[in-house]
Structures are given as C-alpha cells and as structure tokens.
Amino acid sequence: MISLPWLTQMDGVVLEDRGTGKLPTLDVEFRVVRMSFSPQGKTHGGHYDLYIDPQTNRLAGWIQTTRVPILPGDFLPAEVEGSDGPGNIARIVDQYAERDGKVIPIAYSSLSTDGSDRLFGIHLLIEASFGDAIDVSMLEPPEDGEVVYQVER
C-alpha cells in the first residue's frame, strides 16, 4: 500500500490513462491510471487500476486484478476457493498521515467489486519511517509463532 506511488517509477512498469471511474461505495469520479508490469511481475498477468483524487492528486484507492491461483484451505470465502483467483479487489484509502515530510495512506479497506461491496478487511499501518534502515531480522516470524486466520462465512 505505502509503496504504490513509488512503484509507478520502477523499470518495467507500464502506465496507461484509463479516463475516469468510481470506487465501490464512493460516489466520486476519480482519474484512473492502469499500472501493469513488463515482464509480468507479482500480479502474474494482472494489473492495478489506481484511482487518483483530481482535487488532491492523492491515491484514493486501487483495484487489484490478480491471476494468482487460490487453493482450497486459503482464508477466502468458499465461493472463490479453488478458483483462478478472487478477481478484482478494491482497496480504498480511509486515512492519510504525514511521516518524515511525506503524506502517506495509513489505513485502507478491502472490498469486493462484484456489486455486493462485501468487506474483506481493514488494514492499518502502525508505524512508518523513511529514514531508518530496515532490520531484516524483523521480517522473519518467531520460531514458535502461529498464524491463525478467522473468516466469517
């Protein structure tokens, strides 16, 4: 989420003006820029449609189209398990904050784009710094750690 503005500047990123469009649950017209990767990157042939607020020029949200296969047992609703992927997932920025002189999104919601506006998750960025070195040891889960997913079906 936080790296999307900088991803647009990377080698191999393809940007395409898609006109205007709306995000689920918002009755606002945004400028839409499609971001894809050449060669294919982590979206495996999918893309991101970035929704830019024309008043502030800030990223208001994005719709991610992924082609990553979903396997039975993943933490997604039963109707998408075993399919070719969840399809489009909308991410809508709920809150911005200033960190190290940069305004960044610190909270966003994930919603379906099938017309149901089903909420998949609310995501929060607790801490961010652009000046500190990354401690890569913090990227490893603890040896006795356990990941537990809870999904209402």
- Segments forming the whole domain that contains residue 92: 4-139
Based on the number of CB atoms within 10 Å of its own CB, is 63 exposed (0-12), middle (13-18) or buried (19 or more)?
buried
Q: How many domains does the chain have?
A: 1
pLDDT at 140 over 90: no
Q: Which residue has the higher pLDDT, 54 or 150?
A: 54
For residue 137, report the phi and psi dihedrals to the nearest 5 degrees.
-65, -20
Read off the pTM.
0.71
Assigned domain for 25 exists: yes
Query: Does any domain span residue 10?
Result: yes
Asked if the structure places residue 16 within a domain, the reply is yes
Q: Is residue 27 part of a domain?
A: yes
Only one residue has tokens 């991101």, namely: 48
Task: Find all residues with CB under 8 Å of 128, minimum gap 6, and list them.
Answer: 2, 99, 100, 104, 106
Query: pLDDT by residue (tens digit) across 74-100?
Result: 444 444 444 444 568 899 999 998 888
Give the mean model confidence (pLDDT) for residues 4-12.
76
